[in-house]
Amino acid sequence: MTNEHEVIVIAADERQEQPEWSERQIRVAAYCRVSTDMEEQLSSYEAQKDYYTTKIMENPNWMMAGIFADEGLSATSAKKRPEFQKMLRKCKQGKIDLILTKSVSRFARNTLDSITITRELRNIGVAVHFEKENVNTMEMDSEFVLTILSSLAQAESESISRNVAWGKRQAMKSGKVMNFSHIYGYKLDEDDVPQIVPEEAAVVRRIFDWYLAGASVIQIVNRLSEEQISTPTSKEKWTESTIRGLLRNEKYCGDVIQQKTFVSDVISKRIIKNNGQLPKYLIKNYHDPIINRDLFYKTQTEIARRTGTVRTQNDTNRNFYKYSGKYALTGVLICAECGSAYKRTTWRKRSGEKQIVWRCINRLDNGKRYCRNSPTLQEYVIQEAILEAIKANFKPEDWLVADYVPQKLAKRQWSHEDSQDIKALKKSLIDMLSNVDHVELLSLMDTANAEVIRLQHAEAMLTETLLQMQSAQNENQTEETPLEWSETLVRNLVSKVIVQNENQLVLKFKNGKQITLVISS
């Protein structure tokens, strides 16, 4: 028996093809964006807002749900556009039905962002209409078309980015400096030429001097805070990262290195340190230096010494030491057997008496397996041997290195600043000669001369005080007075001390001289 099946077609309800808001007033928002803050772009930005405001308000079936606009921001990342994110939140809250935008490239140049966002909006019933391409995301084939258009927009953005990067690199190669803003110690004049700021330059010089004298970064931070010196951003508290960046900045010796970092790609815009992936461009003597090049290079060598790692001879272990400005021998006292640094530590005898000794870090942390024969040295024995070597190889005036000089006398910076003030006053007098009447000129000259005399007197007094200090120090330093241990003195004179065994040290001075010391344990 054959069964005949009857098929009945139930006609589609054409009303179901329309969005649920088709029979009510639609809540419409518009999104505008320009990627630069140039004047012509900003005028376009304002024009876009005016255009959409008028368009929405003139349609009786539409209700204004907001104009969202980002200016001077790239479309390659949706997360970095605050107004765009605000608009998406309102969509998820059910306050927007339709979004109008000029084109796919105005909405997003990132293909993944474009597809993901429009798909999420479509799932919650929010349509996006791209006017230039005449694409509505509620239509059946819109996602396919949008994918192609978004890919083209992303490719265009990547092409623009490559062209801009190429142009910048060509400018760097020709010697043009791309960015010289926000450098402590300098300001740009009306021609964008870096000019030294004397007050800030004096602070920079002191920071370099302190560091080479052995001060740690945190000690420099504390000194600046104690003296209430403002940071480059006019804050009260300096940070360690600011000091480290300042000490590594080649601009202070008059040079500029360009392309230290680069942007990985136009989408993520992640900044990567240039460790050789791309060429760098060094422009020497681009501007007036604050410190001389020799001082800068010595600082870089000291930075490398403090932050360096020490590898053992068996190549199975690395020993790291943290630099401390407290002890001059930290990172300087080295084990000849394994190459590791020595560490200062305290021993306690059975009698309860404390004893300060220095021990090889490798042996201390890993045992005799990696360093069998490194001796433990008493601190006073090492210090006595080094002081005797200093007395035998340096003149008494070389010993006079004070840890702390009274602030008013430090670096004689007052003398330098006073001289600059005197020059400025004299120049002002010359400039005023042609513009001031006789009586007023005489009054101004009397005032200026009095100020010049005061400043010259201050300079003379300062110089006299410094000479008296130096003379007193020289008189006090006699053969009968023993040379006392000074952390700053040792840092300034000693480069490295290599422990050969418990009775022998190899001492290297910073002037290049090397001697062997025989010690008694």
pLDDT-based confidence at residue 427 (cuts at 50, 70, 90)? low
pLDDT mean across residues, the chain: 76
pLDDT score of 167 = 61
Are 173 and 281 a contacting pair, CB within 8 Å? Answer: yes
Q: Break the chain into its structural domains and give their ranges.
A: 23-161, 186-304, 308-399+486-518, 407-476
pLDDT-based confidence at residue 500 (cuts at 50, 70, 90)? very high
Give yes or no for residue 358 having a pLDDT over 90.
yes
Which string of DSSP letters, residue by residue, matches 278-344? S--EEETT-S--SS-HHHHHHHHHHHHHHH--EE-TTSS-EE-----TT-TTTTTEEETTT-PBEEE
For residue 73, give both structure tokens: 């921001």
Give yes or no for residue 516 having a pLDDT over 60.
yes
Q: Check for a shared fold between 23-161 and 186-304.
A: no
286 or 275, higher pLDDT: 286
pLDDT-based confidence at residue 174 (cuts at 50, 70, 90)? low
CATH number of the domain at 186-304, out of 3.40.190.10, 3.30.70.3000, 3.40.50.2300, 3.90.1750.20?
3.90.1750.20
Query: Model pTM?
Result: 0.49
Helix axes 240-248, 217-226, angle to 10 degrees: 110
pLDDT, tens digit, for every residue of 183-239?
Answer: 899 888 887 788 899 999 999 999 998 888 878 888 899 889 888 888 888 888 899
Give yes or no for residue 347 having a pLDDT over 60.
yes
Q: Does domain 23-161 have CATH number 1.20.1090.10?
A: no
Helix axes 82-92, 111-123, angle to 10 degrees: 20
479 or 72, higher pLDDT: 72
pLDDT score of 407 = 36
pLDDT score of 256 = 81
483 or 127, higher pLDDT: 127
Highest-scoring range by mean pLDDT, 2-6, 97-101, 401-405: 97-101
